[in-house]
Amino acid sequence: MYRRGMVNSLLEYLILSYLEKGRLCGYDIITILHERFHTLLSPGQVYPVIDRMAGQGLIQKERRGKAVLLQASPMGESLLEAWREEFRAIEMQLSNVMAEQPRVVA
């Protein structure tokens, strides 16, 4: 259950990360999330996020027949890189915390 919450909280980052590799439709994103995290998000959880991201200019939509292909916009790519820098900084801080010796309080 905790994994679903983590995936939901990182959904925008994950979507941009997958779109960085090429165009995908919403169903593809749901499938990749399920394969990688073993948690199945519903279309009702994913598509509103996609729509919000498109409204913010982070992703672009292109209709191809019945499918709507998504791709990261330049703004989305910039945001993805900024998030990656933040995640690296957080990872360093976590590594420092894990390396510290616990203090014994008498």
Question: For all residues of the chain together, what is the average pLDDT?
Answer: 91
CA–CA separation, 4 and 71 (whole Å): 24
Q: What is the pLDDT of residues 14-24, one digit of tens each?
A: 999 999 999 99
Share of the chain above pLDDT 90, in %: 70
Query: Is 70 exceeded by the pLDDT of residue 106?
Result: no
Mean pLDDT of all residues in 37-55: 94
Cβ burial of 22 (10 Å; 0-12, 13-18, 19+) is exposed
Local confidence band at 1 (pLDDT 50, 70, 90 cut-offs): low
Residue 44 neighbours by CB distance under 10 Å: 7
Please give the domain boundaries of the chain with CATH numbers for all domains: 2-99 (1.10.10.10)
